[in-house]
Amino acid sequence: MERSAGARLTIALAAMVGVMVSAGGAPAATAATPEAIGRQRVLLVFVPSAGDPRLAAQRTALDRAAAEARARDLVLVAVPEGSSDAEKLRRRFDVGRGFAVVLVGKDGTAKLRSERPVPVSTLFGLIDSMPMRRQEMTRDGG
């Protein structure tokens, strides 16, 4: 049975439970289920190694705005080079070698790409401009 691109992304992201981290810095085991991934925005941070200082900078920026990230259903997923998951995600989002940041919307498509860490103000501004986020804010009263 042929899987849709969104289903393949969900499976690839679910397989990455070992590198998934919530904006608060704690392991986000619940975000690893396909159902949770389908409801969240994912900030993929492609890195040559897990110790890359740019990953630390991106993670720190989100940690400082953890409540705001949670309000936007945003999780950070580190994608170190070398795993089969990394290769699949790089192909799926057309990301070359080295460092890259890709914001994936709840619809599974890339909303932003960067070759450097992205300020949270940029991330939150973009997310807040998305139609689905506007609906969420209206529904949630904020």
The CA-based angle 84-2-8, given to 5 degrees, is: 35
Rounded CA-CA distance 127/74 in Å is 9
**Cα 139 → chain centroid:** 23
Per residue in 55-66, pLDDT (tens digit) is 999 999 999 999
Instruction: Give per-residue burial for 27-37: e unless 16+ CB within 10 Å, then b.
Output: ebeebbeeebb
pLDDT band for 17, please (50, 70, 90 cuts): very low
Residue 46 has pLDDT above 80, yes or no: yes
Q: What is the mean pLDDT of residues 4-27?
A: 44
134 compared with 63, residue with greater pLDDT: 63
Domain of residue 74: give its range: 5-140
What does pTM read for this prediction? 0.74
How many domains is the chain partitioned into structurally? 1
The CATH number of whichever domain residue 55 belongs to comes to: 3.40.30.10
- pLDDT score of 135: 64
